[in-house]
Structure 1
Amino acid sequence: MSGTEEKGVYRALFIVNFLACLGFGIADPFFPVYATSNGAAGIHLALIFSGFAAAKTLFSPLTGWWSDRIGRRRLLVIGLFAHAAIAIGYLCLPSPSSLILLRFLQGIAAALVRPVSLAYIGDMAPARHEGTAMGTFDISYYAALAIGPVAGGIVKDTFGFPGIFICLSALCMLAFLTALVFVRHFGKNRVSEIRTLRVDLSVLKKSGTLIALCGFIFSRTFGIVYFGMFLPIFMFENLRLTGIEMGVVMGANTIVTALMLRPMGLLSDRVARDRLILTGGTAAALLTAFLPLSETFPHILFLSIGIGFASVLSLPASSALLVEEGNRQGMGLTMGIFNAAMNLGAVLAPLAGGILFSLFGMKAVFYGAGFLGLGGVCFYHLARNTRKGDSGQGS
């Protein structure tokens, strides 16, 4: 594939990722309300959301490995089409038991899309420019995340829940058609090489970098989950902020991340990536621990912006190291294992946070996230230095 063709595939994947993520950004904030309005109780909600994350955790390594074996395009378009179909299923089968099953199936579909898309980008990322390629691509995710809830609110108020899920289905179908037409098969692995691969998670024992990155993102996920899950409660009950103020605090974090992804990607291709990950991870953990000490709107807004900046400091750098490791171990399998670690954190974080909140109160939730984040930084540093020669550019 020529350089021009690769750029075309990259742009198409950017659009595909933006469309699919925008659909979920529109639907996800209203999914709990939809479920409860159809009779879902607390246990149903727990199964709906934990089942989605559990499916992604279980299937991401498998689909990543599978994409190394049979090619990425086929799995990507299947996953996008499944997303579109399942979205309509939410309207046709609204009972709690049906929603649990459909959400689990959507988790499998998500495992077909996200790791495979990242593997595609990793395949195309030029040497010593991995951070720029991955950071720029992730703008599609964070931009959709920033726009989605606002667009979803407008759709919900105008067309109700049918409008929400029709939007999700339509956007995923548009992403499916874009991938079908513009995303061509591409990969550095050739069939003769791919057939020698096996789903072998012992790669974690062989790669200090991969296990370090998995530990880092697992611990970091707790802070991310608690920011979205518990911070709105803290702002409403403790700080008595208005709805607009709460929206500004939550949105500022995402906007900063989206705006800084490409500059930080360029930076990660020029300076030591380990330093960016360690600095960003440490800062994000400390700022998360400071959240419950906030007393005013400007204070918590400053912390939100700071967490966004600290997070984006480490994001392209870690993605670049992941691409380098994917070139050694298999891009799809590497991306799948990494996403599984992140999704495992998404499964366990709400459970741990709920226990901390019930036993010790709100402050303990954020202190716990900060402590775990610092532990993840230490784990990353130790794991990266356990295997000589297993280092990325600028490490």
Structure 2
Amino acid sequence: MKKTIKEQKSVLIILLSNIFIAFLGIGLIIPVMPSFMNIMHLSGKTMGYLVAVFAVAQLIMSPLAGRFVDRYGRKKIIIIGLFLFGVSELIFGLGKNVSVLYLSRILGGISAAFIMPGVTAYVADITSVKERSKAMGYLSAAISTGFIIGPGIGGFIAEYGVRMPFYVAAAIAFLACISSIFILKEPLTKEQLAEISANTKQTNFISDFKRSLNPLYFIAFIIVFVLAFGLSAYETIFSLFSDHKFGFTPQNIAAIITISSIFGVVVQVFMFGKIVDILGEKKLIQLCLIAGAVLAVASTAITSFLAVLAVTCFIFLAFDLLRPALTTFLSKAAGKEQGFVAGMNSTYTSLGNIVGPAMGGILFDINIHYPYLFAAIIMVIGLSITVMWKEKQLGESLAK
């Protein structure tokens, strides 16, 4: 019988810290983007590509990393990911030209591909089905906090130098790597790993991607893509939009994102379970997509600091509630294939993180409002896809 979450508090804290650090690094670059644009004379398109290349590397490595998690164990893959992440942040901090920055983001993407499925599978292994949604809610809160508060922390630390946020992130990553080596224990025995590996056919990215088209997973994966696209497009352009339209400083941007993050995470941690009980996962997902689309459009019309803060708070909350609903569904539907499903979850997240910033940067150069309008359209498309998500199919998959 598996231990309760309360009995495994120290292990969960380490796991949540690891995933928080990984997503913190993704967001750290955002508040200093206007500074980099000015110093290196870069276009919005180039800055969008700089964010997107992280996701390209993650996309390529995610299916392979999912296999490694099932074959070699959760702990080893998490530790390797943390080490690579620390190296990538250090390189970015030292980088003096665009090519070095690209190299850093590629290494960062590879590290995220290792950390995300490793931690997700680990949490699934040590929790019962009954407590899975609560654990995934905590995991999602850590992801959201890292991804959304990253720009906030980056903005404040940047007062001591534009490159300082990356040195701090590298130091924290190496510290997390060392602590994981000594505190984490592999949740599965060698025999269990061998059994999972033997039952899983040796496949490549194409065959893994085809398996993800299974109706059991596919619609959920599509919504994962929509979520990643919407959040990355919104957040990548947010600092540039705020700088160009309102003249906000990095500290203004950091304050907005930090407050929004705290608001979203508090609601997620304390109310997510109750909201799912009342609405059910499908209705919650649809409600979040509707709210995201409406608020993305509203972002183009607001003018005051308080209005920007209010809209940002609620659009991040919509994303914060959407992620754990999807992650919990996929985890329960996965059965013994936690590594594969976590890897493909990361793959679809990466696809969204590639298209979102790249399209956002291109559209920003045309009109600063276009990225938000395009994000709203994508979320409406995602909403229409959920209509095909049959309640019976969802119920059967969750009962497995």
Is the TM value for this pair above 0.5? yes
Question: For 2:199, what is the secondary structure of its paired residue?
Answer: coil
Identical amino acids, percent of aligned pairs: 23
* Residue identity in the other structure for 1:180: I
- Cα deviations by residue, 1:150-179 (Å, 9 ceiling, x for unpaired): 543454433663x43332221111110121
Between 33-42 and 381-390, report the one with greater CA deviation. 33-42
- Give distance in 2, aligned partners of 1:42 and 1:281: 26
1: distance between equivalents of 2:268 and 2:53? 30
Aligned to 2:267: 260
Whichever residue aligns with residue 376 of structure 1, its letter is G
1:55 alignment counterpart: 57
CA distance in 2, matches of 1:294, 1:93: 37
Once the two structures are TM-superposed, the CA of residue 60 in structure 1 deviates from its matched residue by 0.9
Structure 2 residues not aligned, in runs of 5+: none
Q: Given that residues 289 and 367 in structure 1 are in contact (C-alpha distance below 8 angstroms), is that contact kept between their aligned partners in structure 2?
A: yes
Return the offset for 1:280.
Answer: 1.5
**Shift of the alpha carbon at 1:316?**
2.0
Contact kept in structure 2, 1:209 and 1:390, CA below 8 Å: no
Amino acid at match of 1:286: V
User: 118, 121, 134: which is aligned to 1:119?
Assistant: 121
Q: Which residue of 1 aligns with 2:195?
A: 192
CA offset digits 1:282-301 (Å, max 9, x no partner): 22222212221224333333
Closer, same or farther in 2 for the Cα pair 1:69/1:242, shift >3 Å? closer
Whether contact under 8 Å (2:227, 2:322) holds in the other structure is no
Bigger Cα displacement from structure 2, 110-119 vs 294-303: 294-303
Counterpart position of 2:351: 344
Tell me the equivalent position of 1:158: 160
Query: 1:23 touches 1:168 (CA, 8 Å); kept in 2?
Result: yes
**After the TM superposition, which of the residue ranges 41-50 and 289-298 deviates more from structure 2?**
41-50
| Change in 2 beyond 3 A, CA 1:367/1:277 | same
Asked if residue 377 in structure 1 is aligned to residue 383 in structure 2, the reply is yes
Q: Residues 64 and 372 of structure 1: is their aligned pair in 2 closer, same or farther, counting only changes over 3 Å?
A: same
* Match of residue 176 from structure 2: 175
8 Å contact 1:24–1:168 — kept in the other structure?
no
**Superposed displacement of residue 91, structure 1:** 5.2
Structure 1: distance between partners of 2:161 and 2:297: 40
Q: Bigger shift: 189-198 or 366-375?
A: 189-198
Aligned pairs (5 A) from 1:131-280: 131-145=133-147, 147-158=149-160, 161=163, 163-187=164-188, 190-198=193-201, 199=203, 200-201=207-208, 202-206=210-214, 208-239=215-246, 246-267=253-274, 270-271=277-278, 272-280=280-288
Alignment of 1:58-77 (within 5 A): 58-77=60-79
Name the counterpart of 1:79.
81
- 1: CA distance, partners of 2:29 / 2:363: 29
Matched to 1:170, the amino acid is A
Deviation at 1:365, TM superposition (A): 2.8
TM-superposed CA distance for 1:77, in Å, is 0.7
Alignment map for 1:380-395 (pairs within 5 Å): 380-384=386-390, 390-392=396-398
Distance in structure 2 (CA, Å) of the matches to 1:107 and 1:180: 22
Alpha-carbon distance between aligned partners in 1 of 2:101 and 2:253, rounded to the nearest angstrom: 29
Q: What's the Cα RMSD here?
A: 3.3
Residue 335 of structure 1 pairs with residue 342 of structure 2: yes
- In the alignment, is the contact (CA less than 8 A) between 1:212 and 1:384 conserved in 2? no
Question: How far 1:228 sits from its partner (Å)?
Answer: 1.6
One-letter identity of the residue aligned with 1:335: A
Q: Is the 8 A contact 2:155 2:254 kept in 1?
A: no
1:294 match: 302
Q: Match for 1:204: what amino acid?
A: S
Partners of 1:185 and 1:278 lie apart in 2 by 37
Aligned residues of 1:132 and 1:268 also touching (Cα < 8 A): no
**Segment of structure 1 superposing worse, 5-14 or 23-32:** 23-32
Deviation at 1:389, TM superposition (A): 6.2
Match of 1:315 among 310, 315, 323: 323
* Mapped partners of 2:298, 2:42: distance in 1: 35
Report the Cα offset of residue 57 of structure 1.
0.9
Q: Counterpart of 2:196 in structure 1: which amino acid?
A: E
5+ unaligned residues in a row in structure 1: which ranges? none
After superposing the two structures, state which structure 1 stretch, 368-377 or 102-111, moved more. Answer: 102-111
Number of residues of Structure 1 aligned to a counterpart in Structure 2: 390
Q: Which moved more, 1:35-44 or 1:122-131?
A: 35-44
- Aligned-partner Cα distance in 2 for 1:109–1:29: 22
TM-score (norm 1): 0.85
Partner secondary structure for residue 348 of structure 1 = helix
Deviations 1:19-62, CA, capped at 9 Å, x for gaps? 44445555664478569857978786565433221010111121
| Deviation (angstroms), 1:356 | 3.6
How far is the alpha carbon of 1:139 from its aligned partner?
2.8
Amino acid at match of 2:371: V
Question: Residue 52 and residue 246 in structure 1: after superposition, are their counterparts in 2 closer, same or farther (change >3 A)?
Answer: closer
Partner of 1:3 in structure 2?
3
